[in-house]
């Protein structure tokens, strides 16, 4: 998975469990490695939004990094973490966390400069597809067509295992 060349794109990242590792490398590229342009401004001018699904609080890998990005780059980074076995809030999965933000996510997905990255267990792909298909139906659209267009444009990136 590679990041797009343009600096003013929107990046929606969806990861479960250890699927966060490749996403972490992309986030480090955006917010650490060569993150500044020659004139000192930030290269990345878009929005990176991470939806991360884990079993419980102990399983949140790199959480301190994500919280630091959120604090340091509030205009460029958002972080939503869903914990499926955390008793206080009930079962929350990454696709249900996305559904809570779907109006804004859907607006971003309609933009030609938005990329979607998903990495994790194989079940992530089907739950993500189901969630986005439902959102599309609610809006009178067909997710399969949108997904196909995003793939054709090189804006849909999924790595599952």
The correct CATH number of 12-160 out of 2.40.160.40, 1.50.10.10, 3.40.50.80, 2.40.50.150 is: 3.40.50.80
Global confidence as pTM: 0.91
- Tokens, residue 22: 């490749």
Strands 156-160 and 114-120: parallel
Share of the chain above pLDDT 70, in %: 88
Q: How far apart are the C-alpha atoms of 149 and 11, rounded to whole Å?
A: 16
Q: How many C-beta atoms surround the C-beta of residue 118 within 10 A?
A: 24
Average pLDDT over residues 85-106: 83
Burial of 69 (0-12, 13-18, 19+ CB in 10 A): buried
Average pLDDT over residues 69-78: 94
pLDDT at 85: 72
For the stretch 125-145, pLDDT in tens is 999 999 999 999 999 999 999
* Mean pLDDT estimate for the chain: 90
Chain centre distance of CA 65:
15
Choose the weakest-confidence range: 1-10, 101-110, 150-159. 1-10
- Tokens, residue 152: 């054709």
For the stretch 28-71, pLDDT in tens is 999 985 566 677 666 789 999 999 998 776 667 778 899 999 99
Tell me the sheet residues that pair with 15.
52, 119
Sorting pLDDT into bands at 50, 70 and 90, what band is 93? Answer: confident
pLDDT at 107 over 80: yes
For helices 63-72 and 20-31, give the axis angle rounded to 10 degrees: 30
């Amino acid at each position: 998975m590679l990041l797009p060349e343009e600096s003013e794109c929107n990046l929606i990242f969806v990861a479960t469990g250890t699927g966060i590792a490749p996403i972490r490398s992309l986030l480090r590229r955006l917010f650490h490695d060569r993150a500044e342009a020659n004139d000192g401004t930030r290269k990345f001018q878009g929005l990176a939004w991470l939806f991360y699904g884990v079993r419980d609080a102990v399983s949140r890998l790199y959480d301190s990094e994500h919280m630091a990005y959120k604090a340091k780059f509030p205009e460029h980074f958002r972080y939503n973490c869903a914990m499926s076995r955390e008793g206080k809030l009930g079962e929350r999965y990454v696709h249900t966390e996305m559904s809570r933000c779907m109006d804004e996510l859907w607006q971003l997905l309609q933009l030609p400069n938005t990329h979607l990255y998903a990495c994790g267990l194989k079940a992530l792909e089907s739950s993500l597809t189901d969630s986005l298909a439902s959102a599309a139906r609610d809006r009178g659209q067909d997710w399969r067509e949108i997904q196909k267009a995003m793939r054709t444009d090189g804006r849909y990136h999924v790595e599952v295992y």
